[in-house]
A and B are shown apart, each in its own frame.
Chain A
Amino acid sequence: MIVDAHVHIGKSTRLQIDVDGEHLVRVADEMGFDKICCTDLTALFYDMHEGNELLFREMKQFPDRIIGYASLHSTRFGTEALDELDRCANDYGMRGLKIYSTPQMSIAEPATIPILEKTVELDFPILAHATPHECEYLMAAVPECKLMMAHAAAQPFAQGDWNRAIMAAKRFPNLYLETASSTIDSGFLETCVRELGPEKIIFGTDIPLLDPYFQLSKIRETNIEPDQLGKILGGNILRLMGLA
């Protein structure tokens, strides 16, 4: 089974995206992805309540294909954010949290801690667009949370330094690396597996921002064993979400 752990749905003029569930499921069919884990762009960048509800509607249309991440546009909304996570878990059936960090508005701050503690309570893995330094701060504060470093530092705010991401993931048992990136450095996956084992690597594509074919190829066209690939391509994320 292949599960894409990093998919965006909805609208963003900045990212030049406007896609619905039907489009994404069609892409998943072409790619051979059994399930896609989606985060709504409105929830991530503007209004969590509106965006998460939009995602819930898409989940209802494709219940066997779309797994929802509850998304927060900020971790600075206190109990409003905690209540939203409860709603997403209990009313919408979402299975994880997506949060986004920028150098100008970093999530590596005390306001994020109650959010992480809530994910432990809900048994939510967190897909965090965050740097290795930020992830280390968060893991040190709440070591029992299940944190997936989106892009494995292969993103601009982390200077593409996936070697540094591996070092961080080695320090914290519950810190995982997610593979979506426009970086396709040779040896990336082999180094991750050698240093961390296949259980800590999560496959994602970041569609519809990035081309999914090279994302899948950089995982498959390696010398990684088939059973290890099975964990990376779907087994791990389903385990973290309690769906295995």
Chain B
Amino acid sequence: MVVDVNAFIGKWPYWPVPHSKFSQWGVDRPCICSTRSLFVHWEDGNREVEAAIKQHPASLVPFACLGTFETSHRAADRTHDLKAYRERGFRGIRLYPQHHSYHLLFEPFIDEICEQARVLNLPVLLSLRAIMNWGVPALDLHDMLGIVERHPRTPWILSGVNYLQEIRSVQVLLRRYPSVHLETSCVMGYEAIQKAVTECGYEQILFGSAAPIQHGRANLEKILHARVNDLAREAILFGNATRLLGLGSK
């Protein structure tokens, strides 16, 4: 069993991405968000996710992407209700400030989302970068660290982390807060998975691939061959995610 906590559906606007199935890469339960949420409108993307879930309810796990209500021509007239998203079946939340033109630390609605997520125990995936490619927008590391420090009891999934200083910083948060998790889709360093497990244990590390934009199988291989024991490997590949997302329950 492999749970991928960071997969996508939808189109990729920058270059052609070949059509592939998650099962071909060995992923049983991809947690999906639509790229439409990043590039067009987050609410439209969430509806696309719901439609996909109806077709594949046994495999796909829905994450809702949330963004601003305010636009250039209209003030915000409502607030986010995470309970409603959970009732719609979403198992987690994703935030992409770098794609949605807001500052993570200076938007009140983000604090509301973090607080609701804490109360509901709904994981919030925050991406430093959607994929490990320098051509796509990236979030400032300090913003990621700052919002986690402000809301340390929110169940965080920190994604898109790769460089040494990024991983070292996130590892400090892992040691400090049991509610913080590291997702592996952009962790590309030599023996980086082994080092993370050695320094922080395996309970807060989750497999993610950013597939199909990134190569799903290649991303899985680095976990399958990481120098960690079987207990740690199984926890990273599915145990931790199953527990965090409540995949054993309805």
Chain B residues 186-227 with CB under 8 Å of chain A are 186, 188-193, 211-219, 221-222, 224-225
Q: Which of B134, B164, B214, B221 contacts A159 (CB 8 A)?
A: B134
B222 touches A160 (CB 8 A): no
Complex interface: stretch among B10-18, B57-65, B115-123? B10-18
Contact partners of B190 in chain A: CB under 8 A:
207-212
B133 touches A186 (CB 8 A): no
A141 within 8 A of partner (CB): no
B17 touches A186 (CB 8 A): yes
Q: Which of B192, B214, B224 lies at the interface centre, i.e. has the most chain A CB atoms within 10 A of its CB? A: B214
Complex Cα distance, B219 from A161, in Å, reads 20
A184 touches B219 (CB 8 A): yes
Complex Cα distance, B162 from A183, in Å, reads 11
B222 touches A163 (CB 8 A): no
B135 touches A159 (CB 8 A): yes
Tell me how far the C-beta of B166 lies from the nearest C-beta in chain A, rounded to whole angstroms: 12
A213 touches B215 (CB 8 A): no
A183 touches B132 (CB 8 A): yes
A186 touches B225 (CB 8 A): no
Complex Cα distance, B225 from A207, in Å, reads 15
Complex Cα distance, B130 from A161, in Å, reads 16
B20 within 8 A of partner (CB): yes
Question: How many residues in A have their beta carbons less than 8 Å from beta carbons of B?
Answer: 31
Task: Give the size category of B's interface with A.
Answer: 20 to 34
B131 within 8 A of partner (CB): yes
Contact partners of B132 in chain A: CB under 8 A:
182-184
Residue in chain B with minimal CB distance to A205: B190
B134 touches A185 (CB 8 A): no
A210 touches B225 (CB 8 A): no
A217 touches B217 (CB 8 A): yes
CB-CB under 8 A for A186 and B162, given A160-B134, A207-B190: no
B133 touches A211 (CB 8 A): no
Q: Which of B20, B186, B191, B221 contacts A186 (CB 8 A)?
A: B20
CB-CB under 8 A for A221 and B217, given A182-B132, A187-B18, A214-B222: yes
Complex Cα distance, B221 from A158, in Å, reads 26
Q: Which of B18, B20, B133, B221 contacts A213 (CB 8 A)?
A: B221
A185 touches B131 (CB 8 A): yes
B213 touches A185 (CB 8 A): yes
24 contacts between A and B (CB under 8 A): A154-B133, A158-B134, A159-B134, A159-B135, A160-B133, A160-B134, A182-B188, A183-B134, A184-B215, A184-B219, A185-B214, A186-B18, A186-B213, A186-B214, A210-B188, A211-B188, A211-B189, A211-B190, A213-B222, A213-B225, A214-B218, A217-B217, A221-B215, A221-B221
Identify the 8 closest CB pairs spanning chains A and B, nearest first. A182-B188, A160-B133, A217-B218, A160-B134, A218-B218, A217-B221, A214-B218, A221-B217
